[in-house]
Structure 1
Amino acid sequence: MIKLSSSSRQPIREAWTLERLNAELTINLGMAIDRSTHSSYTSVLNSYITFCRLHGFDIEPTPRTLALYVTFQSMYINPKSVDTYLSGICNQLEMHFPLVRTARQSTLVSRALQGAKRRFGVATLRKLPLTRNNLLEVFSSLGRSPSHDDLLFATQLFVGTDCLMRLAELTWPDKVSLRDYRKVTMRHSVQHLDNAISFWLPGHKADQYFEGNRLFIRKTSSEAYNLFKSYISSRDNCFRARPELWLRTNGTIPTRSWFIHRLRSFFPSSIGGQSMRASGATALAEAG
């Protein structure tokens, strides 16, 4: 029997029941990945199970089964997506089949995927970045007395571009089950500094520890700075008691579909939510 070292004292804690240990473990496992990622991985697992049932294969993810799955799926979707699908399959099946990642990394699966990419691969279609003229077009449309929602959209567009933000960091998912208040930016996090205004971005799915980031809108970014000040004034007049920073006229947090609908009233589908981040990054690169 291993004895405890006398030089290391352990705090006295009450023993948990087995039921509580299992319950807490279940919660931790459920929070290991983001809700949106879990939803995508569940869909991917369904596609793998459907493939196995369709062809009469055992569900165990052997190298050959995964290679056949890659071959089949690559006929219908981009092989780059199939590569991502394999990650989801590994995540969902690892608890039941501990060797699934070994099978995923096997030579057979790797070569099947590489061959599919060479055979069926297509160029990645990316959204175009917003140009300076694009932004000014939205800014000039506001007029002297813009509505609260018009001001909200323009502010999010300019701030998102200036701070290299993702659309998901400014809006809520359309699917209610994927909404998470831990990712919602709060009004009380806004700080007015001498040469900038800042607010706290609490977290996103790539920020697994929810450490967050403080974003700054500097006075030198005149349109973004002035729009943010105007929006804050309008928001506080309408919703002084509400904690959320971004709010529509009806009191709801703007959703992705709401933002995209507004974006479509100005630009074609070649401009999307990713265009803000791409535009900001391009501007920084050009500035050196």
Structure 2
Amino acid sequence: MTFDLRRSRQPFHNPWLLDRLVHERAIALGHALDQSTQDTYSSALNSYLTFCCSHNFPIEPTPDTFSFYAVYMSSFIKPDFVDSYLSGICSNLEPYFPSVRQIRKCPLVSRTLHGCMCLRGSSIHRKRALTTSDIQFAIAQSPTTPSHDDHLFLAQLLTGFHALLRLGELVWPDSVSDPFFHGSQVLIINHLHTADPRLFFQSYLVSRDTLFPLQPELWLRENGAVPTRTWFIRRLQTLFPNDVAGHSLRSGGATALAEIGMTPALIQASGRWSSDTFQAYICKHPTLLAALLFARNAPHASTIAP
């Protein structure tokens, strides 16, 4: 098939060099990604986009780009944070670049990051995981005649603990982020033989439906506002010292499941972790690691019933 370009009425444009095409595409993709993840990933994806633009690198990940990014960012923040940033970057770039996770795992990137940790790493001070005793303590501290906000807090606390939820799945962020968030489907099962989280959830629903029968939001405070992260953390810290934070619910629930002998695969599925993320999570929580090792060797580990 041939075309006669002489009859075309299209205006003439000078062709671009390949370098310019790559650079302009990087800028266009950068703006598209940045808008869809405004605020939510400002510490991770946006830092990568800024790095690529300021160094005139294509946004498409390569082993060189990721390794350079790791070295550069490790000069300003802890290498452990850079490791977490790379995980977030992969999660958000994967729809655009399907091979991004393989690039993240390549020896050049992993060894570069390991070297940065050896050079600039420091000990990790993580908030401790909540325990079943902590949950019982929180219930015991509830007033004899609880307010609506008391019902709300306990329902969220037990739901997050038993369903291995991130705090961001329970509360509204302090600054509005993803306008296209569609919510989560959560299955709550009491494996731990503690206070049944469903009872506290049902008590909250009765209070909520009485006060706000026409409101669509699931979680609502007594004043009609959606609970924020700051609100929940303040309530949490009235019960526990500063060594407990929002992530303590998720890590505590996972640890408690491991301690009763649930297999790592079931805990991973319950917490909706990807394989790589879950392994990294275990390594950074010695209590959970020891419990999981025990669970693998326990004769009843694969026969736990709900």
Category of TM-score, reference length = shorter chain: 0.5 to 0.7
* 158-167 or 233-242, which deviates more: 158-167
Asked if residue 247 in structure 1 is aligned to residue 208 in structure 2, the reply is no
Asked if residue 43 in structure 1 is aligned to residue 16 in structure 2, the reply is no
* 277-286 or 255-264, which deviates more: 277-286
Q: CA deviation at 1:277?
A: 1.8
- TM-score with structure 2 setting the length: 0.60
| Corresponding residue for residue 257 of structure 2 | 284
Residues 224 and 30 of structure 1: CA distance in aligned 2, closer, same or farther (over 3 Å): same
**How many residue pairs align between the two structures?**
229
Q: Secondary structure at the match of 1:271?
A: coil
Distance (whole Å) between structure 2 residues aligned to residue 268 and residue 107 of structure 1:
41
Q: Secondary structure at the match of 1:82?
A: helix
Asked if residue 113 in structure 1 is aligned to residue 113 in structure 2, the reply is yes
Residues 115 and 222 of structure 1: CA distance in aligned 2, closer, same or farther (over 3 Å): closer
Residues 111 and 138 of structure 1: CA distance in aligned 2, closer, same or farther (over 3 Å): closer
Asked if residue 264 in structure 1 is aligned to residue 237 in structure 2, the reply is yes
**Could you list the runs of 5+ residues in structure 2 that have no partner in the other structure?**
2-28, 262-306
Distance (whole Å) between structure 2 residues aligned to residue 247 and residue 106 of structure 1:
45
Alignment of 1:223-238 (within 5 A): 223-238=196-211
Distance (whole Å) between structure 2 residues aligned to residue 161 and residue 58 of structure 1:
45
Q: CA deviation at 1:33?
A: 7.3
Q: Secondary structure at the match of 1:235?
A: helix
| Corresponding residue for residue 144 of structure 1 | 144
Letter in 2 for 1:72: Y
| Corresponding residue for residue 6 of structure 1 | none
Distance (whole Å) between structure 2 residues aligned to residue 287 and residue 230 of structure 1:
27
| Corresponding residue for residue 17 of structure 1 | none
Per-residue CA deviations over 1:32-91 (Å, capped at 9, x if unaligned) read 9766654444431355158x4xxxx54457866764543333233122332444566776
Q: Secondary structure at the match of 2:182?
A: helix
Per-residue CA deviations over 1:140-165 (Å, capped at 9, x if unaligned) read 22222111112211221122212222
Letter in 2 for 1:175: S
Q: CA deviation at 1:106?
A: 6.9
Indicate if the aligned counterparts of 2:219 and 2:226 stay in contact, CA closer than 8 A.
yes
Indicate if the aligned counterparts of 1:67 and 1:109 stay in contact, CA closer than 8 A.
yes
Residues 230 and 219 of structure 1: CA distance in aligned 2, closer, same or farther (over 3 Å): farther
Indicate if the aligned counterparts of 1:63 and 1:104 stay in contact, CA closer than 8 A.
yes
Residues 265 and 60 of structure 1: CA distance in aligned 2, closer, same or farther (over 3 Å): same
Letter in 1 for 2:249: M
Letter in 1 for 2:151: L
Asked if residue 80 in structure 1 is aligned to residue 80 in structure 2, the reply is yes
**Could you list the runs of 5+ residues in structure 1 that have no partner in the other structure?**
2-25, 184-202, 204-211
Distance (whole Å) between structure 1 residues aligned to residue 98 and residue 143 of structure 2:
61
Distance (whole Å) between structure 2 residues aligned to residue 75 and residue 127 of structure 1:
25
Indicate if the aligned counterparts of 2:131 and 2:253 stay in contact, CA closer than 8 A.
no
Per-residue CA deviations over 1:252-272 (Å, capped at 9, x if unaligned) read 221111101111111122111
Percent of paired sites with the same residue: 40
Letter in 2 for 1:176: V
| Corresponding residue for residue 165 of structure 2 | 165
Distance (whole Å) between structure 2 residues aligned to residue 231 and residue 217 of structure 1:
17
Indicate if the aligned counterparts of 2:37 and 2:177 stay in contact, CA closer than 8 A.
no
Residues 280 and 71 of structure 1: CA distance in aligned 2, closer, same or farther (over 3 Å): closer
* 235-244 or 83-92, which deviates more: 83-92
| Corresponding residue for residue 295 of structure 2 | none
Q: CA deviation at 1:104?
A: 6.7
